[in-house]
Amino acid sequence: MSEDKIEAKKKIDIRGEICPYTFIKSKLAIEEIQGGQLLEVTVNHLPAVENVPRSMENEGHEIVLVRQETASDWKIIIRKKQEG
Protein backbone atom coordinates (compact mmCIF):
# COMPACT_ATOMS: atom_id res chain seq x y z
CA MET A 1 0.00 0.00 0.00
CA SER A 2 1.60 3.26 -1.06
CA GLU A 3 1.54 6.20 1.34
CA ASP A 4 -0.63 8.14 -1.11
CA LYS A 5 -3.35 5.49 -0.88
CA ILE A 6 -3.55 5.41 2.94
CA GLU A 7 -6.92 6.76 4.05
CA ALA A 8 -7.50 6.86 7.77
CA LYS A 9 -11.02 6.28 9.10
CA LYS A 10 -10.35 8.74 11.93
CA LYS A 11 -7.80 11.56 12.25
CA ILE A 12 -6.79 13.37 15.42
CA ASP A 13 -4.51 16.37 15.74
CA ILE A 14 -2.95 16.41 19.19
CA ARG A 15 -0.16 18.88 18.53
CA GLY A 16 0.55 20.75 21.73
CA GLU A 17 -0.15 17.70 23.92
CA ILE A 18 2.64 15.95 25.82
CA CYS A 19 3.10 12.40 27.07
CA PRO A 20 1.20 10.59 28.53
CA TYR A 21 -1.75 12.59 27.14
CA THR A 22 -0.68 11.82 23.56
CA PHE A 23 -1.11 8.10 24.20
CA ILE A 24 -4.32 8.51 26.22
CA LYS A 25 -5.96 10.56 23.45
CA SER A 26 -4.73 8.13 20.79
CA LYS A 27 -6.08 5.18 22.78
CA LEU A 28 -9.50 6.84 23.19
CA ALA A 29 -9.61 7.66 19.46
CA ILE A 30 -8.74 4.13 18.34
CA GLU A 31 -11.57 2.76 20.50
CA GLU A 32 -14.00 4.68 18.25
CA ILE A 33 -13.09 2.78 15.07
CA GLN A 34 -13.54 -0.84 13.96
CA GLY A 35 -10.83 -3.50 13.86
CA GLY A 36 -8.68 -3.21 10.73
CA GLN A 37 -9.43 0.50 10.25
CA LEU A 38 -6.76 3.18 10.38
CA LEU A 39 -6.21 6.00 12.86
CA GLU A 40 -4.03 8.95 11.85
CA VAL A 41 -2.43 10.87 14.72
CA THR A 42 -0.55 14.16 14.29
CA VAL A 43 1.86 15.09 17.09
CA ASN A 44 4.62 17.63 17.63
CA HIS A 45 5.94 16.36 20.96
CA LEU A 46 9.11 14.46 20.04
CA PRO A 47 8.86 11.80 22.80
CA ALA A 48 5.35 10.95 21.49
CA VAL A 49 6.89 9.94 18.14
CA GLU A 50 8.40 6.93 19.94
CA ASN A 51 5.99 6.48 22.84
CA VAL A 52 2.67 6.44 20.95
CA PRO A 53 3.73 3.76 18.42
CA ARG A 54 5.39 1.63 21.13
CA SER A 55 2.34 1.85 23.39
CA MET A 56 -0.04 1.08 20.52
CA GLU A 57 2.02 -1.98 19.53
CA ASN A 58 1.91 -3.13 23.15
CA GLU A 59 -1.90 -2.95 22.86
CA GLY A 60 -1.74 -5.24 19.80
CA HIS A 61 -2.24 -2.61 17.07
CA GLU A 62 -0.07 -2.34 13.93
CA ILE A 63 2.00 0.73 13.18
CA VAL A 64 1.58 1.44 9.47
CA LEU A 65 3.55 4.67 9.18
CA VAL A 66 5.59 7.12 11.24
CA ARG A 67 6.68 10.08 9.14
CA GLN A 68 7.97 13.57 9.79
CA GLU A 69 5.68 16.01 7.98
CA THR A 70 7.29 19.36 8.89
CA ALA A 71 10.15 20.51 11.09
CA SER A 72 8.03 19.85 14.18
CA ASP A 73 5.02 17.75 13.10
CA TRP A 74 4.87 13.97 12.80
CA LYS A 75 2.18 11.70 11.38
CA ILE A 76 1.56 8.30 12.95
CA ILE A 77 -0.83 5.86 11.27
CA ILE A 78 -2.09 2.90 13.29
CA ARG A 79 -4.19 -0.07 12.15
CA LYS A 80 -6.55 -1.19 14.91
CA LYS A 81 -6.21 -4.85 15.82
CA GLN A 82 -8.98 -7.19 14.76
CA GLU A 83 -11.18 -8.31 17.61
CA GLY A 84 -11.50 -12.00 18.37
For 11-54, write each residue's pLDDT tens digit: 999 999 999 999 999 999 999 999 999 999 999 999 999 999 99
- Which helix (DSSP H) or strand (DSSP E) does residue 30 occupy? helix 21-30
Pairing mode of beta strands 62-68, 10-13: unpaired
Name the packing angle between helices 46-58 and 21-30 (round to 10°): 40
Amino acid 6: pLDDT: 82
In whole angstroms, how large is the CA radius of gyration of the chain?
A: 12
Sorted by where each begins, the domain ranges of the chain are 3-79
Positive or negative, the CA dihedral 26, 57, 63, 17 is: positive
CATH number corresponding to 3-79:
3.30.110.40
Pairing mode of beta strands 74-79, 38-43: antiparallel
Catalytic residues: 19
In this structure, the number of other CB atoms found within 10 A of the CB of residue 57 comes to: 13
Pairing mode of beta strands 38-43, 10-13: parallel
